[in-house]
A = this chain, B = another copy of it.
Amino acid sequence: MKPIDLLAQGQVNIWMVEDNSRYRKSLEAVVNSADGMVCRESFSTCEEALVRMEEAPLPDVILLDIGLPGISGIKGIQRFKSFSMDIHIVILTIYEDNDVVFDALCEGASGYLLKDSSPEKIVDSIREVLQGGAPLNMRIAHKVLQLFSRIKGRRPDYGLTDREKEILQYVVSGMTKQQIADTLFLSFHTVNTHIKNIYKKLEVNTKAAVVSKAYRENLFNPDV
């Protein structure tokens, strides 16, 4: 391990949590041979790392495996981040299951690499994270974008008119019929009629159900 003064010189403090000791050691070597970074601590479980975090200087980046004994990497992300939101977590795992990826990213991982990544790629990724980037494995990035297209994906068309869509927004915002009428300078009765028609088209019969349906099916802005 390199002397402390290197840290003062801007050496980036990398930690590693990886239960495969052979892989961990080879990765340590890779990181330590890279300019400007040093693997100061490495662990085989999240628990050990969390204990160490109580006293040691906090890492800048943690390379984190997911399939760990004890606390999983996913849970680990939250715990690590609770020490400081400035700690960047880069997932390094074999899992490319949709749910795992999704959960990890939701918990605040800054990057997601697969273990088939080359040492150079891993080092580059650490640099990218430190520059505010988010290194993603090619296949992972593709999965991420797929999740997006699913969000705004197939919106069933209920044939709402423009006015109905507009009023739907207000209903969703939680306004009362009278409030909507006042806002749009309409009669209460008009708003009432529009909402009646929306109910028929969406096949619901309460405001709560409309709001729920609107959110679940992304019945928003452009074309409902």
A residues neighboring B (CB under 8 Å): 102-103, 105-110, 128, 131-136, 138-139, 141-142, 144-145, 148-149, 151-153, 171-174, 176, 204, 206-213, 215
Q: Please list 26 pairs of residues, one from A and one from B, whose beta carbons are closer than 8 Å in the complex, sorted by A's number.
A: A105-B145, A105-B149, A106-B152, A107-B149, A107-B152, A108-B153, A128-B138, A131-B138, A132-B138, A132-B139, A133-B138, A134-B136, A134-B141, A136-B136, A136-B141, A141-B141, A144-B144, A144-B148, A172-B208, A173-B212, A174-B208, A207-B207, A208-B210, A211-B211, A212-B215, A215-B215
Q: Quick check: B208 and A149 within 8 Å, CB to CB?
A: no
For the complex of A and B, the 4 pairs showing the least CB-CB separation, nearest first, are A174-B209, A106-B152, A133-B138, A134-B141
Cα separation A143 to B106 with both chains bound (whole Å) = 13
CA distance A121 to B208 in the complex (A): 49
Docked-complex contact A145 and B109, CB < 8 angstroms: yes
Give chain A's interface secondary structure class: helix
Bound-state Cα–Cα, A100 to B159, Å: 26
- Docked Cα-Cα span, A136 to B134, in Å, equals 9
| Pairwise interchain contact A135-B141, C-beta atoms closer than 8 A | yes
A142 touches B153 (CB 8 A): no
Do A133 and B139 touch across chains, with their CB atoms under 8 A apart? yes
